[in-house]
Structure 1
Amino acid sequence: MIVDFNILEGKKILVTGGAGFIGSNLIEKLLNLKAEVVCLDNFATGKRENIEPFLANPNFKLIEGDIRNIEICKKACEDQEFVLHQAALGSVPRSINDPITSNEVNVGGFLNMLVAAKDMGVKRMVYAASSSTYGDSAALPKIEANIGKPLSPYAITKYVNELYADVFKKTYDFNTIGLRYFNVFGKRQDPNGPYAAVIPKFVQMLIKHQSPVINGGGEYSRDFTYIDNVVQMNILAITTDNEAALNEVYNVACGDRTTLNDLLDYLKEYLSEYDGNIRNIQAEYGPYRKGDVAHSLASIEKAEKLLGYKPEYTVKGGLEKAVNWYWENLK
């Protein structure tokens, strides 16, 4: 999809969770397109170094605050045309260990942002939904209209976001677009901590010549999605003038699935170009995790049809770029 990027020049856009992995990549792209960007983050999971390169940009402003505070949300939404809502507590295991905080941030904070955006006259809010919403539905590929029962507190919170967004259109005529992210990876994704995503964690362990631990037998599969595809979808969501595309939820993915075993093989292949010893590292296998979905594969037909989405990167193409970034930044 060819987007007239000039349309974003001078646009006022708030990115919540802007110091996080996805948020900081969005801000980088928006600033390159000459938008005026406000970042709202409390740095609970976001990192200051992710936004440090933007601080000298006159089109960038940082508001340090928590989306659980409605007044902070309203302040951040002042004079904004669009909101890209990325702030959340991710991770299924985190939500299982602490469902209360996950609910406070992901549901209470989301509702605060909806209210603030509506009250402050924001035109549209695009929000990070999640593939976890498909729950126990075994059907493949995942089609937006067909979901199952949630398998974790995190999945419940992200589904509630979609329900609130739908009600806000019907009740207040406030426009939203939800983006169900499928296992996003790429530069600035944190490999550390107990809730780190699988790709940066595997990469870090391989660089250190340690054996990655795969939960289960390694045949669980995911629709891994490179960050640039996610950035593309967010831009399409705020620039679309297709009325039929508004107040919908879309899968953000490649439309392809990769097993964890295959993923590890790809990572070893690309990393071995920098360090040949990595090719011989073998995985260790642990128990399955509670709340994990066995297989995930997205249909991207709806996004292609209504938003003109076309993934810029395949899984392997994205992994090659990500590995290059991690080698430069983790070794």
Structure 2
Amino acid sequence: MTEKPRIGFVGVGLMGHGMAKNMVEAGYALTVLGHRNREPVEDLLRRGATEAADVATLAGACDVIFLCLPGSPQVEAVVGEIISAGCEGKTVVDCSTSNPVSTRALEAALRKAGGVLVDAPLSRTPKEAWEGTLDTMVGASQDDFERLRPVIDCWAGKAVRVGEVGAGHTMKLLNNFLSLGYAAIYSEALAIGAKNGIDAATFHSVIGGGRMDCGFYQTFMKYVVERDRDAHKFTLRNAHKDMRYLVSLATESGIAGYVSSAVKNGLATAEAIGRGDDYLPMLSDIVAELNGVDRKGS
């Protein structure tokens, strides 16, 4: 891009706030949509952003519109409003964790209306969003990826083009499937151990530092052993949503999803019993409780 595009941002929550902050500080003209949480909006306005009252106004003022929303239903609603407002020549970058089945349908609808859709879901945490060092896996044509790269580089330390549109969301779901699958395995292993005289600290003393150790294991076990509630702030509700998308993708692909369905069902149970707002490592408590082991306070 020879001139900096005008940027719009919908969804300035925990992740979006830091991303938007880095873009406006890099000199991009930024318009944000009003958010129920006024604190990030007001912060961005102080940094030089402007606020739009609705999606149509934001779309009209911007060339590239970033979305960082809870999931596909919200993305579909916003993209529908952008199309209705007129999207000729505009690019929508969906940084949400969305269903690739929906993403491909939205790409076709935007293309028909003269726009472009790119999927660029995120990895890492709000801390890295603020520091501008997020990871992102991008689904886009090579030309679109190169065109958008200077903007993405404002908030991403690592940006990898993983394929055409939809591939980014597919890769993100595969990534989350691995971590959520590990969460289910850790939780069940801990419950079996507790029933048979192996407490969590002993389990961790063996697994920690060994071949099965990893960053995800460390944050999961920081809650299990140290009871640090903020060690891994990802809700079971969001985990369940991601696994529903993954199972939907497997079904559309004709894949027999034995493991993915089991992981999804465990998370569905957690949400059904009212624990959807608990963080992911707390799945270990739920699995223990369902098996007659009370780990709370241990």
Q: TM-score, normalised by structure 2?
A: 0.48
Q: TM-score, normalised by structure 1?
A: 0.44
Greater Rg over alpha carbons, structure: 2
Structure whose residues are more often helix by fraction? 2
- Work out which structure has the larger RCO, using CA pairs closer than 8 Å and 6 or more positions apart in sequence: 1
